[in-house]
Chain A
Amino acid sequence: MKKRIFLYIIFTTLVSGVISSCTKLDEEVFSEVLPNKFNPTEKDLPSILAPTYASLRTVMCGWQGYFDLQEEAADCIITPVRPNGWDDAGTYRRMHQHTWSTQEYQPFNTWQNAYSSITKCNMVLSQIEDGSLKLGAVKDAAVAELRAVRAFAYYLLLDNHGNVPIVINFKDVSLPKQNTRTEVYAFVVKELNEVMPVLSEDETNTYGRMNKWSAKALLAKIYLNSQVYIGTPEFEKCIKESDDIINSNKYQLANNYSDVFTYTNQTSKEIIFAIPYDEIYGRGNQIHLKTLDPLSQGVYQMTAQPWGGNCAVPQFIDTYDIDDSRMKDSWIQGPQINPSTGQIAITYTKFVPGMGGTDGIVAAGNQGFRIGKYVIKPNATGDMDNDFPFLRYGDVLMMKAEALLRTNKPDDAAQIVTEIRKRAFRANPSKAIVTGADLVKGSTYQYGLQAPDGKVADVNGGADIVFGRFLDELGWEFAAEAHRRQDLIRFGVFQTKKWFNHAPHPQAQTRTLFPIPQGELAKNPNLKQNSGY
């Protein structure tokens, strides 16, 4: 009996002990930071701001990102079918022919990352507002910068998708309501103007961030395109913002064109707003991988194998003046030597037979000039060090020139264009000079469909393009800088001309806006598709 009592005691103790101590479930966190373990202050501000810029890095030069969205829909860059693939269910062909679906990745990626940046800005702004993030003296500057980053992201949406919801309140988790392109335009302009007095005027410590000058350059860009966005021209305002930047004397044209794009370009005095990249800390610039053939790996002694995809449209290459040094600075062409063997690894030729995919055409690995503007560092990894210059001084000058040209001051415009051309024609300075009369001419781009043998068969030319010569200047100066789609739309070429394997879409005007991504429509019934889709 004693034994039995003893055993009962053991059991009861065990049972009661266990039950009282082991109903408390506590999820202990080790590899994450709990809010009560971290009280952010002023010194943490860089880490708190950083994510709002990180989304821009993801989309700008990333896989099927903003760069592809702007270039592959335009007349300078194509991704034809190659021996190792690159049909990718026809997506590059659809980008080229403006037959993209509502589920195409390129416009979706821009939408997604722009809104990612916007939502992160909204989150931090709400934390500042409700006091959970205490910033002291730097509060106003931080709020202004966050609103400017948010405006930048909305600008991407204004330009590409147009009719998008304006969301500014992080705490409201209801499904957003759609706004019109005109409303988005007014919002971005209002935000930039409101924060302008508070934004930093210092241009060196704010590299890669929104300061007063990047906000002004962005405004100038929006005003230059306002005819497209809202139907009202704003060229005087564009000139005003450009002049503010010019007169500040903060920026200048780089002596060497390549310095603006090389792997040490963070020191360039020409860059106003860059998306910084780094092969270690800020990965994602993979322009070199997408453009180079795998055989070029040895030429640059790269640690990553390139994928061999996009290249220049031969008709665009034909527009260059033979003495224009930007032709060599922008495009990799001809024989490529492997420095360790001294042998020619590959020879890039201008000719590209076609987009392929529908007609059995496959572009050979060496066909088409490759994007060489972003100078490839020897021993490059899969991620480039080159920062992506989104707004630069040369751009501001050319925006002003275009606004002058379009407000009947072609000679003033020509002076600026000549200034820009000077560094491209060092060997032959007389060729740098252009006149107002030149700028009002048409384009030399031989628009028309290219046959597989390289002949431009179905010619519709460029002579009839109003200020076509100025469009050519934009092409030469800003090739492969993700400008071309916007420029083509402003000059009416996007909607009307044929190039390479592209003919105008039957509803061409509707293609100046990308569709609202199908997946977003499915997630948010408040959204209506853009017209024509």
Chain B
Amino acid sequence: MNYRDWEGIFLRTGQKRLTIRADLNHAMFNDKLKTNIQVINRTTSSNQSGADGYAYRQAMIRNPTDQVKDDAGQWMERAVYFYDNPLSRIQEETRDNTFREMRISGSLVYRPVKDLSLKLMASNVQNSNLYGASTTFQHVNTTKSKLNGTAERSTYSNNENLMELTANYTKSIGGHNFTALAGYSWQDAIYQSFEVSNFNFPTDAYSWNDLDAGAALKDGKADMDSFKSKWQLAGFFGRLTYNWKEKYLFMASVRREGSSKFGVNNQWGTFPAASVGWRMSKENFMQGIPAISDLKFRAGYGETGTIANDPYMSQSSYRFTFDEGAFINGQWVQGFVPSRNFNPDLRWERKKEYNVGLDFGLLNNRLTGSVDYYTRDVEDLLYRFPVPVPPYLIDNMFINAGTMRNSGFEALLSVKAIDGARIKWTTNLTYSSNKNKLANLSNEQFDVTTEFFDAGYTGEPIQATTHRVKVGGPIGQFFVLKSVGVDDNGKWLVENEDGQVIPIAESDADDRQYYGNGIPKYLMGWNNSFQISNFDLQINIRGAFGHDVLNMQRMYYENPINKGYNALKTAYDPVYGKQLNADLVYVSHYIEKGDYIKIDNITLGYTVPKSLIKGVNNLRVYVSGLNLFTITGYKGLDPEGVSYSGDFTFAPGIEHRDTYPTTRTFTAGLNVSF
């Protein structure tokens, strides 16, 4: 049983979580049959109030000298566009959420003979969520927008079943070692949701607890909705491994998987994989080199499939909606339209990966590590692509089109630098690099000829797309007007498509260019663990290099033009040696180098010697700090640039304007076992 109660960073926010876990194991028939039942029940209640990214934005742009409340004691609000009192938003809105989940899983393992094990595993996960939100009469929804209190209630539930049957056979004859695995799995899930909102209440005392009292729903101005969906996934799989004296290793496997989310003729996909290994260190000729304790070469190929996120994308179905309705014969009617551009041939996205690698251990495995190189082609990429209207009904279509190519190198090095009785120091280094590009965007069935598509969005009031993905080019590139200076009047100077410097007023969308990339070229990690007699110390460091981040906070707030809003202290700093006097705009000036090194975690612990206190098995005290220190040239809050919640695949590297600072956590703790 585990209970946690967090207080949030914002006022009136927090979360409580209760987890109850029970495990039951039983063995029968001389341990030939083992059963296990596990039940996990989790309840999470959270209070969010009106504290969200938007409230944070209001706190950022609020005139800091303005009153919080007016002389009459009411929240001070101003009739300025997108400008609300952040405190009134937090205090006058309540948003509560309760999530309950029950996971039940059970397994039966039966070993009729020594080398064969049969396993049946089944699980059921049921969760439900209940959400309520309301605003009082003192919230801007009422003080500005005359909505007289707003309230909504929404709920959803999920029921997911999983069943897996596997048979595993292991046999060794002399130096020949075999394993064979065969199995079958089934998964299905049903999702249901319901929501109602209302406003125009006679009182704000009800919160969301008497939605019926509001008038807006009866007036047809508030919304109500319900939804249900279901999907299924089935799979057969088999794997064979063989090795000879652990010297030559082979593996071959195949999965045949079927998903209800694809077209009836394309539900099933087959995904083979194979690998070979050679543990050279086991060869006789290696025995004379004691410095090498382990050396293994690996090579493999594997295919895996990816399912569409949402069900029904292959259905030729219709819907009734007022969005497509019209005023016909003197009344408003719902329109009857296809739910989407029909694509009954939707199929699996396929990832094909080749990799070669090397594992090694030197000096009695005091120095171990591995290096890997891979190329990964994602074929039949599932994506919502733009299509022309006509011939298609709407301008986007969820189809399999295009190939994305990834290739990368990964290395891991682990050193037991000091391995004494009293002093130990282990250090791990990881390195990875990755390159990717969109190899093509085509589909034999649909005439998709787009050579690029745009992704990412700045939001109001700049309203521009941020990234462009071009066939043959890497993914993650920003597409932007390249700023090269500021003129005497404070206006941006940008590069046009011919490379000439022009005032921004003369530029147009055709002058935008690729500038930087939001995906790091390489990542590094360095973890250290020290043990000096009873003290232990952990230091985790990681870094990412070679990427760029769009600093939206600077783009919006490092500009003195908007006197109505608060600005960053740097707003009056010269830009290219000049004082900026220009409107907010998306230019390359706000795209910064994102390289960073972060000290993620340091933990120092002390274990009290066993003999010290009677009856206590183990006693350890520790202090720990999370997110301690960042070394970066990036001017924003977090150079990881992961706060943009839009299309993260194709628009990486955006630090959203509403991001609030990552927290730094210090913990002091005590572990005791009796």
On chain A, the residues within 8 Å of B585 by CB distance are: 87, 89
On chain B, the residues within 8 Å of A453 by CB distance are: none
Is B40 located at the chain interface by the 8 A CB criterion? no
CB distance B79 to A167 under 8 Å?
A: no
State in angstroms the CA–CA spacing of A35 and B338 once bound together.
Answer: 10
CB distance B335 to A25 under 8 Å?
A: no
Interface string of A503-533 (1 = CB under 8 A from B): 0000000000000001110111100000000
On chain B, the residues within 8 Å of A31 by CB distance are: 226-229, 319
Q: Which of A282-327 contact B (CB under 8 A)?
A: 282, 294-295, 297-298, 301-305, 307-308
CB distance A85 to B460 under 8 Å?
A: yes
State in angstroms the CA–CA spacing of A154 and B386 once bound together.
Answer: 22
Quick check: which of A356-364, A442-450, A458-466 contacts chain B, the rest being far away?
A356-364
Q: Closest residue of chain A to B388, judged by CB?
A: A523
CB distance A280 to B221 under 8 Å?
A: yes
Is A137 located at the chain interface by the 8 A CB criterion? no
State in angstroms the CA–CA spacing of A84 and B505 once bound together.
Answer: 19
Quick check: which of A41-49, A187-195, A239-247 contacts chain B, the rest being far away?
A41-49
Is B88 located at the chain interface by the 8 A CB criterion? no
Interface of chain A, main secondary structure: loop
Given contacts A4-B112, A35-B316, A83-B562, contact A51 B336 (CB under 8 A): yes
Is B23 located at the chain interface by the 8 A CB criterion? no
State in angstroms the CA–CA spacing of A10 and B326 once bound together.
Answer: 61
Interface string of A41-66 (1 = CB under 8 A from B): 00010111111111001000000000
CB distance A175 to B388 under 8 Å?
A: yes
Q: Closest residue of chain B to A522, judged by CB?
A: B450
Is A14 located at the chain interface by the 8 A CB criterion? yes
Q: Which of B27-78 contact A (CB under 8 A)?
A: 29, 33
State in angstroms the CA–CA spacing of A503 and B316 once bound together.
Answer: 51
Interface string of A191-220 (1 = CB under 8 A from B): 000000000000001011100000000000
Contact of A282 among B33, B326, B330 (CB under 8 A): B326
CB distance A30 to B228 under 8 Å?
A: yes
On chain A, the residues within 8 Å of B174 by CB distance are: none
CB distance B449 to A103 under 8 Å?
A: no
Q: Which of A1-56 contact B (CB under 8 A)?
A: 3-4, 7-8, 11, 14-15, 18-19, 22-23, 25-35, 38, 40, 44, 46-54
CB distance B450 to A523 under 8 Å?
A: yes
On chain B, the residues within 8 Å of A30 by CB distance are: 227-230
CB distance A101 to B320 under 8 Å?
A: no
Say how far B349's CB is from chain A's closest CB, in angstroms: 17
Quick check: which of A118-126, A400-408, A483-491 contacts chain B, the rest being far away?
A118-126
CB distance A116 to B393 under 8 Å?
A: yes
Say how far B135's CB is from chain A's closest CB, in angstroms: 13
Is A437 located at the chain interface by the 8 A CB criterion? no
Given contacts A23-B258, A29-B312, contact A175 B391 (CB under 8 A): yes
Contact of B461 among A15, A86, A102, A279 (CB under 8 A): A86
State in angstroms the CA–CA spacing of A445 and B569 once bound together.
Answer: 47
Residue contacts A-B, CB under 8 angstroms, 30 given: A15-B165, A23-B258, A25-B258, A29-B312, A31-B319, A32-B312, A33-B319, A35-B318, A47-B334, A50-B328, A51-B326, A53-B326, A84-B81, A84-B82, A84-B562, A85-B584, A89-B464, A89-B586, A102-B509, A119-B389, A119-B390, A120-B337, A120-B393, A175-B449, A176-B391, A281-B327, A294-B81, A302-B146, A356-B583, A360-B561
Given contacts A11-B110, A33-B317, A50-B336, contact A359 B489 (CB under 8 A): yes
On chain A, the residues within 8 Å of B452 by CB distance are: 522
Is A88 located at the chain interface by the 8 A CB criterion? yes
On chain A, the residues within 8 Å of B311 by CB distance are: 27
Is A110 located at the chain interface by the 8 A CB criterion? no
State in angstroms the CA–CA spacing of A427 and B260 once bound together.
Answer: 73
On chain B, the residues within 8 Å of A356 by CB distance are: 583
CB distance B336 to A47 under 8 Å?
A: yes
Given contacts A27-B312, A112-B395, A303-B147, contact A54 B510 (CB under 8 A): no
CB distance B451 to A90 under 8 Å?
A: no
Contact of A208 among B232, B328, B335, B490 (CB under 8 A): B328
On chain A, the residues within 8 Å of B320 by CB distance are: 33, 47
CB distance A303 to B145 under 8 Å?
A: yes
CB distance B318 to A32 under 8 Å?
A: yes
Is B184 located at the chain interface by the 8 A CB criterion? yes
- Size category of the A interface is 35 or more
On chain A, the residues within 8 Å of B258 by CB distance are: 23, 25
State in angstroms the CA–CA spacing of A123 and B390 once bound together.
Answer: 11
Say how far B166's CB is from chain A's closest CB, in angstroms: 11
Is B332 located at the chain interface by the 8 A CB criterion? yes
Number of A-B residue pairs, CB cutoff 8 Å, is 276
Q: Which of A253-271 contact B (CB under 8 A)?
A: 266
On chain A, the residues within 8 Å of B444 by CB distance are: none
Given contacts A18-B165, A46-B328, A167-B391, contact A360 B490 (CB under 8 A): yes
CB distance B29 to A519 under 8 Å?
A: no
Is B17 located at the chain interface by the 8 A CB criterion? no
State in angstroms the CA–CA spacing of A388 and B332 once bound together.
Answer: 16
CB distance B391 to A94 under 8 Å?
A: no
Given contacts A18-B184, A51-B325, A303-B145, 19 further A-B contacts (CB under 8 A): A14-B165, A18-B186, A22-B234, A23-B258, A27-B312, A29-B312, A33-B320, A35-B317, A35-B318, A44-B336, A50-B325, A85-B584, A103-B510, A118-B390, A170-B391, A176-B391, A209-B328, A276-B327, A518-B509
Say how far A50's CB is from chain B's closest CB, in angstroms: 4
CB distance A297 to B79 under 8 Å?
A: yes
Interface of chain B, main secondary structure: loop
CB distance B324 to A50 under 8 Å?
A: yes
On chain A, the residues within 8 Å of B586 by CB distance are: 89
Say how far B222's CB is from chain A's closest CB, in angstroms: 10
Q: Closest residue of chain A to B337, judged by CB?
A: A51
- Residue from B320, B334, B391 with most neighbouring chain A CB atoms (10 Å): B391
On chain A, the residues within 8 Å of B326 by CB distance are: 46, 49-54, 57, 208, 276, 282
Q: Closest residue of chain A to B313, judged by CB?
A: A27
Q: Closest residue of chain A to B582, judged by CB?
A: A360
State in angstroms the CA–CA spacing of A50 and B337 once bound together.
Answer: 9
Is A414 located at the chain interface by the 8 A CB criterion? no
Given contacts A44-B336, A207-B330, A522-B451, contact A54 B231 (CB under 8 A): no
Interface string of B110-132 (1 = CB under 8 A from A): 10100000101000000000000
Interface string of B576-616 (1 = CB under 8 A from A): 00000111111000000000000000000000000000000
Say how far B336's CB is from chain A's closest CB, in angstroms: 4
Is A160 located at the chain interface by the 8 A CB criterion? no
CB distance B333 to A519 under 8 Å?
A: no
State in angstroms the CA–CA spacing of A20 and B502 once bound together.
Answer: 70
Is A379 located at the chain interface by the 8 A CB criterion? yes
State in angstroms the CA–CA spacing of A89 and B449 once bound together.
Answer: 28
Given contacts A85-B81, A305-B144, contact A115 B461 (CB under 8 A): no
Contact of A112 among B330, B389, B451 (CB under 8 A): B389
On chain B, the residues within 8 Å of A40 by CB distance are: 336
Q: Which of B480-510 contact A (CB under 8 A)?
A: 489-491, 503-505, 508-510
Q: Closest residue of chain A to B232, judged by CB?
A: A25
CB distance B564 to A83 under 8 Å?
A: yes
CB distance A3 to B29 under 8 Å?
A: yes
